[in-house]
Structure 1
Amino acid sequence: MYSSNRRQFLTLASAAALAGGAATTSPLAAAEDTSTATTAAADTDSRYNPRPAIAAYSFRKHFSWSRGKAQQPLAPKMDLRGFIDFCAAQRAAAELTTYFFPPEIHTAELLDLKRYAFRSGVTICGTAVGNRFDEYTGERLEQDIAAAEQWIDRTALLGGSHIRLFAGKAKTLADAGRFAASVAAVQRCARRAAERGVMIGLENHGGITAETLLRFVDAVDSDWVGINLDTGNFPTEPYKQLRACAPRAVHVQWKVAIRDEQGKHNEADFERLATILRDVQYSGFVAMEYEEPGDAYQATADALQRMKTALGV
């Protein structure tokens, strides 16, 4: 848990990255201007400790279940044990995307998966859910919150330290009422997370900007809530926005493609991404989440190795 001083520092660091002083023309300009100044010092600082992981979402077409529905898996088929095996072979932790669990799963099955991961030498770093707190209302919202709370419980049972939630999409969060409702829902989840010892990471998802995400995290105001930093999800000025959010990151999902300032998809600059994490002395899991076409097995393994090299691990 962050101390109050630590949280104040992170808030100020993010605000400084966004503000950049009166002389700048872009609210994100200062974030990029600091990109080279502290790398050498951070390399020798013990707080920089990225831990490689793989997101099960990389193999989304190979599982038999997706978001509670059966699907025809792409060959070679994968199940959650097979995913653990893949992580073991790559010497990486496992991020278990909840979409790929069967709709009915019992405690004994979760404990069996936990045991299997332990015996395979694989850390289950956490889980990821696809909540829609910004979109749902009434009973449907209550069900969505209950499902998220259930997965917080399950994450703790599995030994995971983190769960990914969505703050919401840019369009819905632009409405003050929906913004407040989503904040309130995350606050409820944060109370459960505090009881279970699980960090919540809110992802930059659905076109939201760094400013919106940081404002959302501040509104939730919990030591158990930070940012799930997805390197491929900012619509414009991606590296500047990533730098602005990096001080608040509690988990990172690393993509091989990134949107440039014109919104086009280009190959990510792995060294530049690694520098952003070094500069904020990031300590935590960095999950390779492969989403591009091709052989997911080989491409994920190759991309993971490139990521490890860039991170220096």
Structure 2
Amino acid sequence: MSISRRTFAKGALATAAALPARSLIAAETAAPPADRRGNPIAVSTYSFWRFKDDSKLSMERCIDEAARMGFDAVELLHIQMESEERGYLQRLKQRALINGVSLCGLSTHQGFVSPDKQVRQKNIDHTIHTIELAYQLGIPTMRVNTGRWGTSGDFDELMANRGVEPRLAGYSDDDAFGWVTDSFEKCLPAAERCGVTLGLENHWGLGISPEGVLRIVDAVDSPWLQVTTDTGNFLEDPYDRLEQMAPKTVFVQAKTYCGGGLWYSLDLDYPRIAEIFRRNHYRGYVSLEFEGEEDWQTAIPKSLALLRSAFAGS
């Protein structure tokens, strides 16, 4: 005798309802907790370039190489893009699809630490424009910065001074925090409309400390402005500082320095770092930013193996 689908469904529901509560609880607890899943490992296109002369790979090749090496996803560096034309953006999406990797993040360069309202507005407009590019690319999060005072001669001088630079004469940090907070608030409607979560990075300037990053994120108080944590941008006592950042982190950039760093090297304990983020229930992407002198063709696979091992879950 055949049984109709409707009759079968009713019987199944009745059977489930009759199960003792503790049987259902046992079934739930038998499944492994979500925290045991390892983090997906991405690579920033910056890793293939590192601002080295005559070594700027195309985005297409970066995506191909990332897939060949075994990464789960690719983070794009905005200034490395060869075009912003719609067709180019859609070809990048298709390239990622064919290679079986996600486009997981976009890193832009902007800054709001300026007493000049027109300068801040120019950077607000640029940030909104880049949010819209992320939306077109299907990218869910974008790295943003506070900006810095600009009193260093160049980046080499800033690094020689361990990321610290003097304020502009006549202005205070409180002034700068106000400019940055106000500017991000003007960007948030676009972020929400496009579904792109902004991640404020510990990236020099007011973001040189976790206190500086969190002061801005807490003041803005929006789910659309959270934290991008860079493991290599705390030059002293990184682990306690990473612990402070972890609860609001939506994206991790993980530095490695094979062959010696371009500006400095840090001996980072990635199993310890991974445990910090596991303890704070971080399940998102960990994106490699290789910043060493070794050839990327050997250094990036070694870095992937390091991060896979550390962030494999438990």
TM-score exceeds 0.5? yes
Between the aligned partners of 1:180 and 1:186, the Cα distance in structure 2 is 10
Between the aligned partners of 1:297 and 1:195, the Cα distance in structure 2 is 39
Unaligned runs of 5+ in 2: 1-31, 149-163, 258-263
Q: How has the CA–CA distance of structure 1 residues 248 and 174 changed in structure 2, closer, same or farther, with 3 Å as cutoff?
A: farther
Identity of aligned residues (%): 30
Between the aligned partners of 2:97 and 2:141, the Cα distance in structure 1 is 17
Unaligned runs of 5+ in 1: 1-43, 258-263
CA deviation after TM superposition for structure 1 residue 136, in Å: 6.5
Q: 1:118-143: CA deviations, max 9, x gaps?
A: 11111000100011111362322212
CA contact (8 A) 1:45 1:281 kept: no
Q: Which has the higher contact order (CA 8 A, sep 6+)?
A: 1
Q: How has the CA–CA distance of structure 1 residues 212 and 174 changed in structure 2, closer, same or farther, with 3 Å as cutoff?
A: farther
> What's the counterpart of residue 271 of structure 1?
271
Between the aligned partners of 1:134 and 1:197, the Cα distance in structure 2 is 26
CA contact (8 A) 1:49 1:284 kept: no
Runs of 4+ more than 6 Å apart? none
CA deviation after TM superposition for structure 1 residue 145, in Å: 1.2
Matches within 5 A, 1:117-156: 117-135=96-114, 137-156=116-135
Matches within 5 A, 1:217-296: 217-256=217-256, 265-296=265-296
Between the aligned partners of 1:57 and 1:184, the Cα distance in structure 2 is 29
> What's the counterpart of residue 26 of structure 1?
none
* Greater C-alpha Rg: 2
1:98 is aligned to 2:96: no
**Aligned residue pairs: how many?**
254
> What's the counterpart of residue 60 of structure 1?
49
CA contact (8 A) 2:231 2:242 kept: yes
| SS in structure 1 of the partner of residue 291 of structure 2 | coil
> What's the counterpart of residue 199 of structure 1?
197
CA contact (8 A) 2:38 2:311 kept: no
Q: How has the CA–CA distance of structure 1 residues 287 and 136 changed in structure 2, closer, same or farther, with 3 Å as cutoff?
A: farther
Between the aligned partners of 2:187 and 2:65, the Cα distance in structure 1 is 31
CA deviation after TM superposition for structure 1 residue 184, in Å: 1.1
1:83 is aligned to 2:62: yes
Between the aligned partners of 2:306 and 2:101, the Cα distance in structure 1 is 20
CA contact (8 A) 1:198 1:224 kept: yes
TM-score, normalized by length of structure 1? 0.76
Output the amino acid matched with 1:114: K
Between the aligned partners of 1:174 and 1:234, the Cα distance in structure 2 is 23
CA contact (8 A) 1:49 1:282 kept: no
